[in-house]
Chain A
Amino acid sequence: MVNYDRILNQRIVDIKPSGIRKYFDILSEMKDAISLSIGEPDFDTPWHISDAAITRIENGATHYTGNRGTPALRRQISMYLSERYGVEYDPATQITVTIGASEGIDLALRAILSPGDEVIIPDPAYVSYLPVVTMCGGKAVPLRTFEKDEFRMRPDALRALITDKTKAVIFPYPNNPTGAIMEKEDLEGIAEVLRGTQIMVISDEIYSELTYGGKDHVSIASIDGMYERTILLNGFSKSFAMTGWRVGYLCGPKPLVDQMVKIHQFTILCAPVMGQAAATAALISARDDDYEDVHRMKRTYDIRRRLLVSELRRMGLPCFEPRGAFYVFPNISGTGMTSEKFCDAFLMEEHVACIPGTAFGESGEGFIRISYAAATKNIEKALEKMQAFLKRHGG
């Protein structure tokens, strides 16, 4: 008999499985459930984008691409970042197409971390940063963020966590799960702390197109002194409703990108060519029609966002106004329930699925994540159910 305990890498075994698995199992059985737990757009990929991939297949152009991605896509990405966010990256040496921004997180961390290195990660944040840091032998250092700050990262909190082992800061804004954004002034404060250090920022900007209330996304790479210490990650999943295509990209200083490409080359080879064709079409057509597809989706998200915030507040749940992504993050601590208890009960009693804030870190206790990447009529129904639920639980 093989003793798998001896075979397995203890560092992997020790990573806690996600507590969300149980919701998956329950939801798969519960046919009438409303799922506000999904972190991907409910829109389909605009057809002309899908069509570009079909054409690629019809032409038989289905071979490997260069490791860094097709020159056409990298050129488009370079133009896009320059026009939208004012950051300049050389398509030949500073941009690599990845399998979603997720691969970018892995590449960035693997390229820079040695065992014992510390990485500061906002808490709450997307679930993959911490395990990837752990897999690289690094130490994840949570930076607690708070509702009173609208879950922004505060410069003093960052400064307090920096040690001589700090290698990088994960910078995920607009933020999943809170919907927080970092505005230019906020970024200046962070830059003030990091300028002159040997600390890299891994800026996950996957929700960059989804900001509301006239607050356009600002990339930290565009702030004075930050370009040379930023690895910028982005992709097409959220802005163009292209999650399943798995196309993202990373940009950064050439010496770093060269090393990240090495890992990518030996593990992935290249991102799927159909996805790259679709992504290229997405950027070209977006520029041609002034981002109308993106705006159309954003207008709908914005309507749902306002409806949710206003209705949740009316029901007595404090809810700061999220300005990015497609999540609201109401404070449910007044009900006396923990985040997990609240989500369990809400699902079992009302058949509506949300995700406990604690799935995204300890600072998520007292909050739940509600995704508004869901049909407006389902959000309305879910809100009625929330009202009934809160009434019953004396909230």
Chain B
Amino acid sequence: MEHSTMELQILDILCEDARMTPEKIAAMIGETPEKVAECIEKLENDDIIIKYRTLVDWEKVDDNKVEAWIEVRVSPQKNEGFDMIAKRITAYPEVRSVYLMSGGYDLMVRIEGTNLKNVAMFVAKHLSTIDGVISTATHFLLKSYKRDGVIIGEHKKDTREVVAW
């Protein structure tokens, strides 16, 4: 599908800051707020903008979130390839993302749980028992350095001199 420059500009700006108002976006790209609002609505209706969410540094929040990335090898099913198995995996609420990958394994599944044990149990009980799943390899996430293009942790300080010509 061809997208207009305006759509692409708006997507760029919203990906950077989802709370940017149509008024400000309009000023930034030299359009009217009405046109921008209309364009955003269309992007939402077309499911191009799927959802607006918040990027959280969970390490600063005192909860016991555990995140694991699981490589899943699958034997593709007749006529359906990987889709059916992938769909079954997506149905679990613990599963945050499912991707089909090239390379040494087939599906990459990201899981969130409250402790190591329940993540491990989920894999053992639910994931590896699905028909067609050949093997799994679970990697627990220890620390995030960068997420979705944003460096996590200490805010980068502006080290420039305060006044310069």
Task: Report yes or no: B163 in contact with A24, Cβ–Cβ below 8 A.
Answer: yes
Among B25-33, B47-55, B72-80, B113-121, the one that faces the other chain is B25-33
The answer to whether B27 touches A311 (Cβ under 8 A) is yes
Please report the C-alpha to C-alpha distance between residue A126 and residue B164 in the assembled complex, in whole angstroms.
11
* Complex Cα spacing A311 to B160, Å: 26
Q: Which residues of B contact A304 (CB under 8 A)?
A: 28
Q: Is the CB of B165 within 8 A of A127?
A: yes
Give B residues with C-beta under 8 Å from A. Answer: 12-13, 16-17, 24, 26-30, 158, 160-165
Q: Is the CB of A307 closer than 8 A to any CB of chain B?
A: yes
Total number of A residues with any Cβ neighbor in B under 8 Å = 30
B19 to chain A, nearest CB (A): 10
Q: Which 9 A-B pairs have the closest CB atoms?
A: A310-B27, A27-B162, A303-B28, A39-B164, A39-B165, A24-B163, A307-B27, A307-B28, A37-B163
Contact sample, A vs B, 8 pairs, CB 8 Å cutoff: A23-B162, A37-B162, A37-B164, A307-B27, A311-B27, A355-B163, A359-B165, A380-B24
Given A42-B158, A377-B17: A307 in contact with B24 (beta carbons within 8 A): yes
Chain A residues, CB < 8 A from B164: 37-40
A306-B28, A307-B27 are known contacts. Are A42 and B160 too (CB-CB below 8 A)?
Answer: yes
* Most chain A CB atoms below 10 A, which of B12, B13, B29, B165: B165
Q: Which residues of B contact A20 (CB under 8 A)?
A: 163, 165
Bound complex: CA A28 to CA B27 (Å): 32
Q: How far is the CA of A307 from the CA of B12 in the complex (A)?
A: 15
User: Is A303 a contact partner of B162 (Cβ separation < 8 A)?
Assistant: no
Chain B residue at smallest Cβ distance from A380: B24
Expressed in whole angstroms, the minimum distance between the Cβ of A254 and any Cβ of chain B is: 32
Among the interface residues A39, A126, A375, which one has the most CB atoms of the partner chain B within 10 A? A39
Contact of A35 among B13, B30, B163 (CB under 8 A): B163
Other than the known A127-B165, A353-B163, what 15 A-B pairs have Cβ atoms closer than 8 Å? A23-B163, A33-B162, A37-B164, A38-B160, A38-B164, A39-B164, A40-B160, A299-B12, A307-B24, A307-B27, A310-B26, A311-B27, A353-B162, A359-B165, A376-B16
**Interface residue? A234 (CB, 8 A):** no
Q: CB-CB < 8 A to A23: which residues of B?
A: 162-163
Give the residue name and chain of the B residue nearest to A20 (CB): B163
